Amino acid sequence: MKKNLYIKTYGCQMNVYDSEKMATLLAPMGFELNESMNDADMVILNTCHIREKASEKLYSELGRIKELKIIRQTQNKDMMVVVAGCVAQAEGEEIFKRSSCVDMVVGPQSYQNLPELIAKAARDKKIVIDIDFPTISKFDSLPQAKVKGVSAFLSIQEGCNEFCKFCVVPYTRGEEYSRPTMEVYREALALASQGVMDITLLGQNVNAYNGLDESSQVSNLGKLIKMVAKIDGIKRIRYMTSHPRSMHDDLIDAHGTCEKLMPFLHLPVQSGSNQILKSMNRKHTIEEYLIHIEALRKARPDIAFSSDFIVGYPGETEEDFQKTMQIVEEVNYAQCYSFKYSPRPGTPAAIMSNQIPEDIKSERLLRLQNLIAAKQSAFNQSWIGREMEVLFEKNGKYKGQVVGKSPYMQAVHLSDGEKYLEKIVKVKITKSIANSLDSVVA
Cβ distance 224 to 156 under 8 Å? Answer: yes
Walk me through the domains of the chain, giving residue ranges and CATH numbers: 3-130 (3.40.50.12160), 147-262 (3.30.750.210), 387-441 (2.40.50.140)
How confident is the model at residue 1, as a pLDDT? 74
**Beta carbons of 412 and 397 less than 8 angstroms apart:** no
Confidence at residue 12, expressed as pLDDT on a 0 to 100 scale: 81
Annotated binding site for [4Fe-4S] cluster: 12, 48, 86, 160, 164, 167
Judging by DSSP bridges, how do beta strands 80-85 and 42-47 pair with one another?
parallel
3-state secondary structure 100-147: CCCCEEECCCCHHHHHHHHHHHHHHCCCEEECCCCCCCHHHHCCCCCC
What b-and-e string marks burial along 385-402, b requiring 16 or more CB atoms within 10 Å of the CB? eeebebbbbeebeeeebb
Angle of helix 286-299 relative to helix 318-331, nearest 10 degrees?
A: 10
The packing angle between helices 114-124 and 13-26, to 10°, is: 60
Is 356 in contact with 341 (CB distance < 8 Å)?
A: yes
Give CA–CA dist 86/58, Å, rounded.
Answer: 11
pLDDT of residue 50: 72
pLDDT at 125 (0 to 100)? 82
d(CA 202, CA 145): 15
Task: Report d(CA 44, CA 8) in Å as an integer.
Answer: 6
- Can you tell me the distance from the alpha carbon of 292 to that of 246, in angstroms, rounded to the nearest whole number? 10
Distance of CA 192 to the CA centre of its chain: 21
Q: Is 366 helix (H, G, I), strand (E, B) or coil?
A: helix
**Binding residue ranges:** 12, 48, 86, 160, 164, 167
388, 406 in Cβ contact below 8 A?
yes
Name residues of the chain where pLDDT drops below 50.
none
Q: How far is CA 122 from CA 72, 128, 185, 205, 347, in A?
A: 17, 10, 37, 37, 36
Taking a C-beta distance cutoff of 8 angstroms, is the pair 44, 19 a contact? Answer: yes
Residue 184 burial (CB count, 10 A): 24
- pLDDT score, position 308: 97
pLDDT at 136: 61
Quick check: helix, strand or coil at residue 257? Answer: helix
Give the list of residues 6+ apart from residue 71 with CB closer than 8 angstroms, or none. Answer: none
Q: What is the pTM of this model?
A: 0.86
Secondary structure in 3-state letters for 214-245: CCCCECCHHHHHHHHCCCCCCCEEEEECCCHH
- Cβ-contact 194, 146 below 8 angstroms: yes
Whole-angstrom CA distances from 241 to 54, 87, 267, 306 are 20, 20, 7, 11
Alpha helix ranges (H) inside 27-107: 54-74, 86-91, 94-98
| Other Cβ atoms within 10 Å of 115 Cβ, number | 14
DSSP state of 40: -
Q: 69, exposed or middle or buried, with CB in 10 Å at 0-12, 13-18, 19+?
A: buried
In tens, the pLDDT along 144-178 reads 767 889 999 999 999 999 999 999 888 888 899 99
* pLDDT at site 51: 65
Cβ atoms of residues 310 and 356 within 8 Å: no
